[in-house]
Structures are given as structure tokens and as C-alpha cells.
Amino acid sequence: MAIEIERKFLVADDSWRGLGQGSHYRQGYLSTEPGRTVRVRVADGKGYLTIKGKTVKASRAEYEYAIPLEEAGAMLDELCERPLIEKTRYRIEYQGLIWEVDEFEGENAGLVIAEVELADADQAVALPAWIGEEVTADPRYYNASLIANPFSNWSG
């Protein structure tokens, strides 16, 4: 079984800009059940189908498969819940780890989150200066949650 171990943080300031290349992501969800999600994604001209299990602390089961781009596009246009998630993802190397900074668009504009995948749940992580509050355990920041409750609907 594939396991994803990931920590998620808010981004404190713009000092990360210019440190990595950005790629546009368009993704949607076929299922956003709490115990499992099924995501369709188009990124860098490729399609993907990803199934994720329930998050426990910073870990969850994850299975990802390449699918034909045309089929991914059709699923996004015809089958996925709304709104779709659109974002630009920047990959930034810092002290031996790759940080993924997601700058959201559309109904989630204004939200910027950084994630780092780990080999072990207890792995020590050096935080870049631009990292803010950790939100790993806050389900509001899960991409699947941003469908039902987009960032633009949050108050204060």
C-alpha cells in the first residue's frame, strides 16, 4: 500500500516567490467522502486519477494513476463536484526537501499553502523563513474541503 506522509502550512509572506518554477493545476473530485477521496487532476499536459484514504495525523493511503489527458478533461468538465480547484504549484527545494507551494485561484483565491512530503511521520523538518502556522490537522485546508467550503466563503 502506498502511504503519503505530508505536513501542511500556511505561507507567512511572499519571500518564497521566485524560488521555484510554477505549474498550473486543474483538479476536481468524484468523491469527497471523509474516509476516501477520488481526485482527477490535469497538470503539465498530463491526466491523473488519485484515490486517497482517511488522514490519520499526517499520513494516509494514496494511489495515483496516469490517465489519458482527454479522459481527465472530460471527467473534470462533466463529472466532478464544483467548484473545481485551480492553482499554481511551485516546487521549492529547501535543506534537502521539496516544498510544494500552492497558490489558489478562483473561489479559493488568496489562499497560499505549503506542503512537504516526508519519508517518516517523525522526520525532523527545517522550516523555511516564509512558513507560517501549521494546518496539517485542520480539515478546512484539504483540497477536497475547499470544494464544499471555498476560501472566499471564510470569514475573518
Cell of 96: 534537502
Choosing from 25, 29, 90, 141, the catalytic residue is 29
Q: Which residues contact 107 (CB under 8 A, 6 or more apart)?
A: 83, 146, 150, 151, 152, 153
Q: Which residues contact 103 (CB under 8 A, 6 or more apart)?
A: 22, 87, 88, 89, 90, 111, 112
Please name every residue paired with 98 in a beta bridge, in sequence order, or none if there are none: 93
Say if residue 83 is preceded by a cis peptide, omega within 30 of 0. Answer: yes
65 is a catalytic site residue = no
The residues annotated as belonging to the active site are 29
